[in-house]
Chains A and B, each alone.
Chain A
Amino acid sequence: MNFSSWGRYPKAIGKEISYKWRHDLFPKADGRSILPVGCGRSYGDSCLNNNANILHISPLNRLINFDDETGILKCEGGVTLDEILKFAVPRGWFLPVTPGTKFVTVGGAIANDVHGKNHHHCGTFGNFVESFELLRSDQSRTICSKNSSAELFSATIGGLGLTGVIVWAEIKLKKIKSSKINTSSIKFNSIDDFLEISKAESRKYEYTVSWLDCLSSNTQGRGIFMGGNHSEDGLLKPHKNGILSVPLDFPEFALGNLSMKAFNLAYFHKQRSSEVSSVSHYDPFFYPLDFVLNWNKIYGKRGFFQFQCVISESAIKELLDIIIKSGSGSFLAVLKEFGNIESPGLLSFPCPGITLALDFANRGERTLALLKKLDEFIYKSGGKIYPAKDATMSSVSFKKYYSNWHELEKLRDPVINSSFWQRVTKE
């Protein structure tokens, strides 16, 4: 059958096996490798395993135990962050770290060591994983934590599913008093402006993120800095899932340059004054795109690339210059200053610096050439690219960005592999 990731590029074919009950055996290998996959929301090929097998772990979706004193939730690896929120919010708890979509599994969140708007405040998801059970192809089940099977614990966090199936995990949730977020939005007109605001304001907010217009002729880089804190007002209302869904692939002209420029212009000018405060429910603050299911179809059949890197302050302007001059970026780019809290994960992506994430519609060779140029620039400047989003970084780059990759390779389950891993580790 056909498989695709969120960016719908590259395409992959293979066989799907389902893993349904946590006491089931690891499936028998048929000579080809197996890759455990949850919601498949990675953008590139880290959730693909071309010409081989995908082990669908979403059926592992049961809760096991919740301790309402410590906030530790034990649940199966296929439980989604969406389900955790629906369970936890009414009880006064929240995800300690959340990526930009709630439609990912706990297993996926661990395997990519996801980060969120509060990275500067408390680091990655891996910092809140107490333990998990790892099932490998030799049928061994190992309970991993900082103090037990620590090497496997560390290799699995950010390990892209390569070390085994995360059958269950214990996550430490965060106590909240309200489902609302107090937000502040500040406009900026240049990257220097952004850096100044980020440095001055970030410590006031648990959550920060900035939206950057990559298409405007204002090549200084204009955008909006957003900060948020949990409200104290006492109402604990969980979110409701959006019912809007993109029913078909949009034609390519839908995301032509003019339409995207117009969108960005409107978005930037929506906020009239330079600084605005408001209160919003957690759902649109953390998950603005989740409201439209299947929004990736807006990019049409050819799909798109998402590029996310972390780079030093001194290099960010030049990077933006390359992107803006190409005229290829779409919509808003996300910009954020990472903190310096270390992750327990071996191959973790975030490190001190500025992270930039944006989409590029797949326009064929032109886009691939641009991504190659960006990869080369990141390589030269000592930055990194995020595997969860990547479909194109070279293996030379990968080995520099993640110089301890062979430690993960040593602990990789011999039956498990992925299109991404094969691409980036080849000689």
Chain B
Amino acid sequence: MEHKKILVLGATSSIAIETDKLFANAGADFYLAARNKDQLETIAQDLRTRGSSVYTHCIDLKDPSIHSALINSAHQKLGRIDIIFLAYGILPEQKECETDQQALLDAMNVNFLSPASILLESVPILESQKSGTIVAISSVAGDRGRKSNFIYGSAKAGLTTFLAGLRNKLSPSGVHVVTVLPGFVDTKMTEHLPKNKLFAKPAEIGNGIVNAVNKKKDVVYLPWFWIFIMMIIRNIPEKIFKKMNL
């Protein structure tokens, strides 16, 4: 069986790690990009043990000047790109971003500007292939701005809208875009937060992502019940919402 060729941006993300194992079990080869060399190599070795060919690229995706070369290198090494899996992001300290301009710019950059830049770099290759899937992890936080989290939330809102536009643009070429909207997940990103019953495990999200890619879903809330939670959150009248403490 032909292996799927997958470019993973942010391969050391807790969700990406679990999702990639599932892709590997179904037969896939990878080009993994992440900042941490040791962690990248550890993950690559796991995927190789599962039968995948794995290329690694240790790099900081925050820097837009490297995006074009990265996409081309992945395309060249893999031969073609079947899936671009965008899994990198940071959960900044909201209070810190309100007063520290650099923290604010970093949050906007890593969570929105950088993803927009790198995904646009991939468009020519995918359009010429007339095939492929972009699957990107946004967040339910982007569904509505709320005081506890709107720096992260607005960056993700930007990403969600960007992905919708990209989906529209790429549809004629047969290239598919999946927007993944996880709720609370127990990952590296949330390790400093107290956990409750709403927190899902990365493997659960991974399963949902593989399923969404296979079934060519457009927008998927994970776990499924967040679609209802966010429907309610989105429909609270602003007059009331602005006084709430969510």
Contact = CB atoms under 8 A, between A and B. Distances in A.
Contact of A65 (B39, B45, B191): B45
Interface in A16-50: 18, 21-23
A377 interface: no
Contacts of B25: 86
Contacts of B49: 63-66, 75
B43 A23 contact: no
Contacts of B46: 62-64
B50 interface: yes
Nearest to B18: A61
Interface in B138-158: none
A263 interface: no
Contact of A62 (B38, B45, B191): B45
Contacts of B50: 63, 87
B42 interface: yes
Interface residues of B, number: 10
* Contact residues of B: prevailing secondary structure: helix
Nearest to A24: B38
A62 B46 CA distance: 5
Contacts of A63: 45-46, 49-50
Interface residues of A, number: 12
Contacts of A87: 50
Interface in A64-91: 64-66, 75, 86-87
B14 to A, nearest CB: 9
Contacts of A65: 45, 49
Nearest to B12: A21
A21 B45 contact: no
Contacts of B191: 18
Interface in B1-53: 25, 38-39, 42-43, 45-46, 49-50
B45 A22 contact: no
B161 to A, nearest CB: 34
Interface string A276-311: 000000000000000000000000000000000000
Nearest to A66: B49
A74 B121 CA distance: 39
Most-contacted residue by chain A among B43, B45, B49 (CB, 10 A): B49
Given A23-B42, A75-B49, 7 more contacts: A62-B45, A63-B46, A63-B50, A64-B45, A64-B46, A65-B45, A66-B49
9 contacts: A21-B38, A21-B42, A23-B38, A62-B45, A62-B46, A63-B50, A64-B46, A64-B49, A66-B49
Interface of B: 25, 38-39, 42-43, 45-46, 49-50, 191
Interface of A: 18, 21-23, 62-66, 75, 86-87
